[in-house]
Structure 1
Amino acid sequence: MTLRTPRPILGWQRAWHARSKAARVELQSVIMWRFLPWVFALTWMALPLLAGLQHGLLSRLLAASLLLVGVLQIVWANRLVRPVLDHYLGRAVLPPRALWTPAALFVLALALVATLHGLDAVAPWGCRLALGAVLLSFGTVYAMVVPVRIFLRHSAIGCVLLMTVFGLLRGDVGEVLFTAAITAFGAGLSILGSRCGAWTLAVLWEAERSRDIEARLAVAEERLRFGRDLHDVMGRNLAVIALKSELAVQLARRGRPEAESQMMEVQRIAQESQREVREVVRGYRGADLGVELSGARGVLTAAGIDCTVTGPPAGGLPAPVQSALAWVVREAVTNVLRHGNPQRCTVALRTAGDRIELSVENDGAPVPEAQSEDGPEAGSGSGQASPVGGAAGRGSGLAGLRERLAEIGGTLRAGPAGTGVFRLTAEVPLPGPSSSPSAGDGSFGARVPDAEAAPPSGTRAVPSPPSSPSSPSSPSSLSEVTP
C-alpha cells in the first residue's frame, strides 16, 4: 500500500518547482522580511512591556497604545515589502506617499516609548527593547527605499535625537550610551537584513537573465551554423545551375546538340544539391561526439549547472555512431538550458554488450500530474514528455532524434526518472568486426541517394554524358519523364 501525497501539497510542490532559482530565493526572502518584525515585536516589545509594566491606569493605556501602534506598523511594513522590493529591483516605481503612513506610525511609536520611559511606566530595559523593535519595523522597509549613505545619515541623525531625548528624560550617561547602542543595532540589522538581501536578489536575477541570454545565444549560434552550412552547400550549386541553364538556352537557340548534355548536367547538379541539403538537415556533416561532450560540459558549467561527464573516450566509435550521439548531446543540453531549473546534469556514456548507450539526466524538472499519481515511470519512453520534464513534447526535437537514431538502428527513451528528475537515453548498436560504414553496403541504415535510385515506371533512361575531370562523378543513369 502506497501513501499518496495530498493534492494541496502536490500543488505547492508543482508551484515551487515551476519557479526559477531566483524566484525561489525571492519568495523565501519576502517571507522572512514579513515574519521577522512579528518575532521582534513579540520578544522585544510585548513580553518586556508585560513583564516590566508598572501598576496604574495610565501605564496600561500607554502600553496598550504602543502595542497597537506596533502592530499597525508591522502590518503596513508587510504590505510594503513587495512594492519596496520591486522598486529596488527596478520593476516598478514606489510613490513617495507610500511611506507617509509608516513614517507617522514610526514617530508615534517613538513618542509612546519616550513617554513610557519618562513616566517610569515600564522598566528601563523594557523601553530599550521596545525602542529596538520599533526601529526594526520601520528600518527594514526604509533601508530598501533610499541609498545606503542616506540611510546611514538619517540613522545617525535619529540616533543623536534619541540620545538627546532619553538623556534629558533620565539625565544619565549610561542611558544615553544604551540608547545609542540599541539605535545603532537596529539600524545595522535593518540594512544587513533587508538591503543586503535585496542586493543578493538583484545579483541572482542578473545571473538568471545572463543564463537565459546564454541559452538564446547557443540556439542562435546553432541557427547561424546551419545557415552557414546551407549556404556553403547551395551557393555554388545554384550558381552553376543558373550558368549552365543560361548556356543551354543559348545552345538550344542556335540548334546545337550540346544543349541536351548541359541540361542533363543541370539535372545531375540539382539532384546532388538535394542530397547534400538532406545531409545538412539530418546532421550527417561530421558531428564529433567528443567535441560535443566537451562543449556540453563547458556550456552547462558556465550556466551555473554542475555537469558531470563519465564514460570511455568517444574517439574510438564509428563515425555514424558518433554523429548520431553527438546530436543527442546537443539537443539534450540545449533543452536543459532552455527549460526547467536544473542544478546538476549527468552525461554518461557506457557500452552494454554490442550496443553503446548515452544517457543525459538532470534535476529541476517539474513534477507532472501523471507522475505524482501513477508513479515515476508513468509516461516514460512514450515520447510525450518534454526534454526536461516540462510540458508535453510537441516539438520536433525528440522526433528528429528518433528518426536520426532509427537510421542506424538506434532507439531513444525520454521521461521522468524520479521526482523532479528527467532522463534521456539513446542506444545505438555497434558494428561487427567485418562491417564498415564507409563501404557503401548500407550498414548503419545508410540509404542510397535518390539520384541513384531506379527510374520509376513511365520514364526512360538517358545515358549520362561524360563529365569533366573537375566535376563530381555523375550517376550511372538519369531519369527523364516521357511526354
Structure 2
Amino acid sequence: MTARSPRFTESTQGRLRRLNLVTSLPPVVFAAVVLLYTDARTWWHVVVLAPGAVAGVVAFERWTANDLARVALPCLVVAAVVWPLGVLLIGSPNAYWGFCAVGSLALREVRRHRKLALTGLFTYVAAVGAVRLLVQRDDVGHVLLTFVLVPTVLTIVVTVFTVLGERFFDLIRELEQTREREAELAVVRERVRFASDLHDIQGHTLHVVKLKIALAQRLLLRDTAAADKELRETYALVSDTIAQTKELAYAQRRLNLTAEIENAKNLFEAAGIRVRVTREAEVDARVSELLGQVLRETTTNILRHAQARQVQITLSESSITIVNDGVTATAPPELRGLAALRQRVAGDGGELTVEQEDERFLTAAVFPPARAGVAPGKDGR
C-alpha cells in the first residue's frame, strides 16, 4: 500500500475521513463492545481484553486521518500482548480481534517485504491460538477450530478487505490528482492561447507600423499630404491595437475574416505586392476566426521574411490557402507564430500545412467538412 500523496487535497481527505468515521467507525466500536461482552466474565477479564479492543479502534480512527504511522507500533504491541493473554488466562477466542485490526491496517506502512509481513501476521494469529492446547488438551478439535482456524481465516478476510479499501482510496486519489492536472493544463493552455493572441496583435501591428513609418519618411519631402495620411493611418492602427489588447485582456476579442482580408490587401499593395483573392465559397462562421488568424500571421511573415511580388489568397467553405513568391532562403524559416497556430488549428480538428518549393511558399489551413457544418459540394459565391 502506498502513502497518500501530499497533492491529495485537504478537502478530499476531509470528506473521505468523515465518510469513514460515519459509515465504518460505529460498526468497529460496536464489534469491540460485543466481543468484550461475550468473552469477559469478570472485571479483570475486561482489564485484560479492553486494551486490545481500544488499540484496534484507535488504529482505525488514525487510519482514516492518514496518521496511522504515529500509533501503529504501540497499538500493534498492545494488541499482540492481549491475544496470548486472552488465550491462556481467559480462554477468549476473540482476543485476536485487536491484533487483527491493527495488523491489517499497519500493512500500509510496510514498504518492503510485505509478503513476509503478511505471513508473519497470519502465522502469529494461528500460532498463539494453538498455544491454547497447553491448557485445554482434552478437546483438540474444538481448540483448533475456535482458536486457530476461525481467527486465522477471519484475519485473512479482514486483511483482504482492508487492502481492497486502500486500493479504493488510491483510485479516488488518482482521480483527484487527474482532475488537478487537467485544471493545471487548462491554465497552461489558456496562457499559451493568450500569448499567441497577443503575439498576433502586437507583432503584426509593430511590423505594419514600421512599414508605414518608412513609407512616410520617403514621402515626407516630396508628398507631405501622402506622408500625413500614412502617419494618421499609423496613429489609427496603434489606437486600434490598444483597443484589441484591452478586448483580449477581457476575453472580448473576435477576429473578422473579411476585415483581415481587406487589411492584408492594403498592406500588400502598400508594399508593392500584387494580391489576388479568390472566394470559392462563403466561409463558415465557426472556422472564420481561426482562418483569419492564419491569414494575419501569414501576412506578417510574408512582409517580414519574403521579397514577394505577388500573393494568391484562396478561400473555401472550410479552408484558406496563401501562396507567395519571393522566397530566397533554401530552407523554410522558423515561423514560431505559425507553429503555435498549428496546435490551435489541430485542437479544433483542422490541419495547418506550411510548404516551400523553389521560390514559392504555401500556407494552408483546412478543416474537415463536418467541422464546417456544411455538406461537401455545396457552393456559395
- TM-score (structure 1 length as normaliser): 0.43
In the alignment, what sits opposite 2:120? 154
> Are residues 115 and 167 of structure 1, via their aligned partners in 2, closer, same or farther at CA, if it must alter by over 3 Å?
closer
* 1:235 aligns with one of 179, 203, 218: 203
In the alignment, what sits opposite 1:115? 88
Instruction: Find the aligned partners of 1:220 and 1:271 in 2 and give their Cα distance.
Output: 29
Count residues with an aligned counterpart. 246
In the alignment, what sits opposite 1:176? 144
> Are residues 157 and 64 of structure 1, via their aligned partners in 2, closer, same or farther at CA, if it must alter by over 3 Å?
same
Q: Within 5 Å, which residues of 2 pair with 1:416-455? A: none
* 1:256 shift after superposition: 5.6
> Are residues 105 and 227 of structure 1, via their aligned partners in 2, closer, same or farther at CA, if it must alter by over 3 Å?
same
* 1:109 shift after superposition: 0.9
In the alignment, what sits opposite 1:218? 186
Q: For 1:163-200, what per-residue CA distance to the aligned partner results, in whole angstroms no more than 9, with x for missing partners?
A: 43123333313422333322223322432443322331
> Are residues 276 and 194 of structure 1, via their aligned partners in 2, closer, same or farther at CA, if it must alter by over 3 Å?
same
1:208 equivalenced with 2:190 (yes/no)? no
* 1:38 aligns with one of 29, 40, 47: 29
* 2:254 aligns with one of 285, 289, 294: 285
- Higher Rg: 2
* 1:246 shift after superposition: 3.9
Q: For 1:358-415, what per-residue CA distance to the aligned partner results, in whole angstroms no more than 9, with x for missing partners?
A: xxxxxxxxxxxxxxxxxxxxxxxxxxxxxxxxxxxxxxxxxxxxxxxxxxxxxxxxxx
Which runs of no fewer than 5 residues in structure 1 stay unpaired?
Answer: 1-17, 51-59, 88-93, 288-317, 324-483
> Are residues 29 and 82 of structure 1, via their aligned partners in 2, closer, same or farther at CA, if it must alter by over 3 Å?
closer
Instruction: Find the aligned partners of 1:86 and 1:68 in 2 and give their Cα distance.
Output: 22
Q: Within 5 Å, which residues of 2 pair with 1:368-407? A: none
* 1:115 shift after superposition: 2.1
Instruction: Find the aligned partners of 2:53 and 2:95 in 1 and give their Cα distance.
Output: 14
Q: Is the 8 A contact 1:30 1:81 kept in 2?
A: no
In the alignment, what sits opposite 1:24? 15
| 2:110 aligned counterpart, secondary structure | coil
* 1:241 shift after superposition: 0.2
Instruction: Find the aligned partners of 1:45 and 1:158 in 2 and give their Cα distance.
Output: 21
> Are residues 86 and 203 of structure 1, via their aligned partners in 2, closer, same or farther at CA, if it must alter by over 3 Å?
farther
Instruction: Find the aligned partners of 2:81 and 2:13 in 1 and give their Cα distance.
Output: 37
> Are residues 244 and 233 of structure 1, via their aligned partners in 2, closer, same or farther at CA, if it must alter by over 3 Å?
same
Q: Within 5 Å, which residues of 2 pair with 1:321-360? A: none
Q: Is the 8 A contact 1:77 1:102 kept in 2?
A: yes
Instruction: Find the aligned partners of 2:239 and 2:98 in 1 and give their Cα distance.
Output: 82
Instruction: Find the aligned partners of 2:255 and 2:208 in 1 and give their Cα distance.
Output: 25
1:77 equivalenced with 2:59 (yes/no)? yes
- Bigger shift: 206-215 or 239-248? 239-248
In the alignment, what sits opposite 1:167? 133
1:63 equivalenced with 2:45 (yes/no)? yes
Q: Is the 8 A contact 2:103 2:121 kept in 1?
A: no
Instruction: Find the aligned partners of 2:193 and 2:218 in 1 and give their Cα distance.
Output: 38
> Are residues 111 and 179 of structure 1, via their aligned partners in 2, closer, same or farther at CA, if it must alter by over 3 Å?
closer
* 1:152 shift after superposition: 1.7
* 1:23 shift after superposition: 3.7
Q: For 1:251-307, what per-residue CA distance to the aligned partner results, in whole angstroms no more than 9, with x for missing partners?
A: 54x5763532331331243244345446545535279xxxxxxxxxxxxxxxxxxxx
* 2:95 aligns with one of 125, 131, 145: 131
Q: Within 5 Å, which residues of 2 pair with 1:285-304? A: 285=254
Instruction: Find the aligned partners of 1:194 and 1:170 in 2 and give their Cα distance.
Output: 33
Which runs of no fewer than 5 residues in structure 2 stay unpaired?
Answer: 1-8, 257-283, 290-381
Q: Is the 8 A contact 2:51 2:78 kept in 1?
A: yes
The amino acid that maps onto 2:135 is L
The amino acid that maps onto 1:224 is V
Instruction: Find the aligned partners of 2:47 and 2:55 in 1 and give their Cα distance.
Output: 12
| 2:108 aligned counterpart, secondary structure | coil
Q: Is the 8 A contact 1:26 1:201 kept in 2?
A: no
| 1:170 aligned counterpart, secondary structure | coil
Instruction: Find the aligned partners of 2:189 and 2:53 in 1 and give their Cα distance.
Output: 56
Q: Within 5 Å, which residues of 2 pair with 1:263-282? A: 263-274=231-242, 276-277=244-245, 280=248, 281-282=250-251
Instruction: Find the aligned partners of 2:11 and 2:131 in 1 and give their Cα distance.
Output: 49
> Are residues 143 and 46 of structure 1, via their aligned partners in 2, closer, same or farther at CA, if it must alter by over 3 Å?
farther
The amino acid that maps onto 1:285 is R
Q: Is the 8 A contact 2:104 2:159 kept in 1?
A: yes
* 2:105 aligns with one of 141, 145, 150: 141
In the alignment, what sits opposite 1:190? 158
| 1:38 aligned counterpart, secondary structure | helix
> Are residues 275 and 133 of structure 1, via their aligned partners in 2, closer, same or farther at CA, if it must alter by over 3 Å?
closer
Instruction: Find the aligned partners of 1:138 and 1:21 in 2 and give their Cα distance.
Output: 24
Q: For 1:231-254, what per-residue CA distance to the aligned partner results, in whole angstroms no more than 9, with x for missing partners?
A: 2233222111023224434654x5
Identical pairs, percent: 19
The amino acid that maps onto 1:45 is L
Instruction: Give the helix-richer structure, 1 or 2.
Output: 2
* 1:211 shift after superposition: 0.9
1:262 equivalenced with 2:226 (yes/no)? no
Q: Is the 8 A contact 1:45 1:133 kept in 2?
A: no
Instruction: Find the aligned partners of 1:22 and 1:77 in 2 and give their Cα distance.
Output: 17
Q: Is the 8 A contact 2:83 2:96 kept in 1?
A: no
Instruction: Find the aligned partners of 1:225 and 1:34 in 2 and give their Cα distance.
Output: 49
Q: Within 5 Å, which residues of 2 pair with 1:49-60? A: 49-50=40-41, 60=42
